[in-house]
Amino acid sequence: MKKEKSCPVIIARQEHEISRKLMSPNALRTLYRLKDNGYVGYLVGGCVRDLLLGREPKDFDVVTNATPNEVKRMFRNCRLIGRRFRLAHIHFQDEIIEVATFRSQASNEPEPEPKEAHGAEHRQRHPRMVKDDDGMILRDNVYGTPEEDALRRDFTVNALAYNIADFSIIDYTGGLADLDAGIIRTIGDPDVRFQEDPVRMLRAVRFAAQLAFTIEENTRKALVAAADTIVRAAPPRLYDELLKLILSGEGAKCYDLLRQTGLFAALFPAFSSWLGAESEGYPHTRFGEMLSCVDSRIQQGHKVSPPLLLALLFGEYIDEKAERFRRQGAPWLQSVNAAVAEFMGETCPIVMIANRVGNALRDIISQQMRLKKIPGRRPESFIARHDFNDIIEFCRITRGDKKDVVKQLDWWAAQSQQQVPVPLPPDLTEESDAPQHKRKRRRRRRNPKAKSVTEVV
């Protein structure tokens, strides 16, 4: 990491395309208030990158030289959050603007003097960055200069700042050139930066896929070399980052990159070898198809819940596990429970799926059985389930190529939109017959080669 003081490239207002009209009015209000009180105020990170690329930013982050307490004194609608590193959240009606004090990372020297603009909080202790034996950052809560704040960021294209004082863009790391060239490059030595925080490898993949950028050669080499170390990141954080990545609207591209770099095999060793072991690449292709399907939903503006996403991606894998339990004599529902439990057991030590999400995943896979029984007993109670739409979606996506299934799903969808019962399609009436349903269930128990969980509809 560069430590010597360097001059930033400054792009004046008239030389760049970012207009304040494209910014969140609340972010602008926050920046002007900081400026009017004599502080520095920058927009930073993803929002500057996205504004320059003509994309709509997801959120607007502000950095300043005011300390959190100084920010709090300036805004009545401010709450301080975070124990380790205090951040100010400015609450507006429909938006929260995060304001952080400039931070430094490159600080293995003796504890620095606090760098507050107005000298307040001098007695506050500022623990320095702490790394573990393998170089992973455990703590990095040190205030810093604007330059240090830029240098601690992950990629050059994420380190650009927009200065409210003169509407210029400040570039300490060559981010503008990389943005023009479509390159994702770590700031500083990529080996060190991925060692400090392995999650940055997932972020590199996400930004490359999302922005259609290339990962710069040295960054890519370091990423491939460090791919196995991804398991050192905290499992809940890996789950969050993977969700962002798969729900970015470019999940299929992300998956390709994860596979090419070795990250996928490190994150999901058992699932990955299952995908690889099958002949003709069928599960692998199927997995890619599911991702493309999720991508098109996201691109059309639909939401995909985490349990539905997991059911779509891992449904067949879980199914095969359930089939194994069934062959050993377990009843159908128990087989699904055992299969989901086994899947969670092998996945969660690396990628932590919360139990609540695991239970919801199990419900989607097991409850699809009920769609077959139309009208069934108390259909309204099934329709009232919070995950009813996810169950319908899951079946439509995975089994929607079967005529019977489509009819059943349409019936349930119509039923859920109406108060009055919808008549059954004539050729499905038989299915709803209660005694016949019972007969079918008994037959399934006797037959160890019964259809798999996702094929029961």
Do residues 371 and 408 touch, judged by C-beta distance below 8 A?
yes
**Which of 210/389 has CB closer to ligand ATP?**
210
Q: Out of 59, 191, 256, 410, pick the active-site residue.
A: 59
- Build a one-symbol-per-residue string for 41-70: x at contacts with Mg ion by CB under 5 A, - elsewhere: -----x------------x-----------
Q: Are 260 and 221 in contact (CB under 8 A)?
A: no
Q: What is the DSSP string of 179-210?
A: HHHTEE-BSS-HHHHHHH-THHHHHHHHHHHH
Q: Could you say which of 197, 216, 319, 387 contacts ligand ATP (CB under 6 A)? A: 197
C-alpha–C-alpha distance, residues 438 and 7, integer Å: 78
**Catalytic status, residue 61:** yes
**Nearer Cβ to ligand ATP (96/424):** 96
Binding part of the chain for ligand ATP, among 2-10, 151-159, 303-311, 391-399 by CB under 6 A, reads: 151-159
Instruction: Determine whether 363 is an active site residue.
Output: no
Q: Which is nearer to ligand ATP, 195 or 454 (CB)?
A: 195
List binders of ligand ATP among 3-62 (CB under 6 A): 45-46, 58-59, 61
Instruction: Select 46 or 198, whichever has its Cβ closest to Mg ion.
Output: 46
User: Pick from 26, 67, 104, 158: which binds ligand ATP (CB under 6 A)?
Assistant: 158
3-class SS of residue 148: helix
Residues 23 and 54: their CA atoms lie apart, in Å, by 12
State the residue for tokens 């058992």.
270
> For residue 138, which of 202, 64, 232 has the smallest C-alpha distance?
232
Q: Which is nearer to Mg ion, 49 or 115 (CB)?
A: 49
Minimum separation from the CB atom of position 203 to ligand ATP (A): 6
By beta-carbon proximity to ligand ATP, the closer residue of 197 and 390 is 197
- Tokens 């940055």 belong to which residue? 200
Q: With the C-alpha atoms ordered 13, 18, 19, 23, is the resulting torsion angle positive or negative?
A: negative
CA distances from 19 to 34, 96, 160 (A): 19, 21, 15
Residue 422 has φ and ψ, to the nearest 5°, of -90, 135
Per annotation, catalytic residue among 50, 140, 149, 154: 154
197 binds, among ligand ATP, Mg ion, none (CB under 5 to 8 A by kind): ligand ATP
**Binders of ligand ATP in range 325-384 (CB under 6 A):** none
Do strands 61-64 and 78-81 pair parallel, antiparallel, or not at all (unpaired)?
A: unpaired
The site map against ligand ATP for 57-86 (x = CB under 6 A) is -xx-x-------------------------
How many angstroms separate the CA atoms of 364 and 311, rounded?
7
User: Residue 108 Cβ, how far from ligand ATP at the closest point, in Å?
Assistant: 17
Residues facing residue 96 across a β-bridge: 91
Residues 124 and 115: their CA atoms lie apart, in Å, by 11
Amino acid identity for residue 355 in this structure:
N
The interface mask with ligand ATP, positions 200-229, x = CB under 6 A, is x-----------------------------
Which position has the token pair 């002949």? 279
Residue whose CB is nearest to ligand ATP in the complex, by number: 46
Length of the chain counted residue by residue: 457
Task: Tell me, yes or no, if 154 is annotated catalytic.
Answer: yes
Residue 154 CB, nearest approach to Mg ion (Å) = 12
* 404 near Mg ion, judged by CB under 5 A: no
Q: Which residues are at the interface with Mg ion (CB under 5 A)?
A: 46, 59
Q: Which residues are at the interface with ligand ATP (CB under 6 A)?
A: 45-46, 58-59, 61, 153-154, 158-159, 197, 199-200
Any idea which residues carry the catalytic annotation? 59, 61, 154
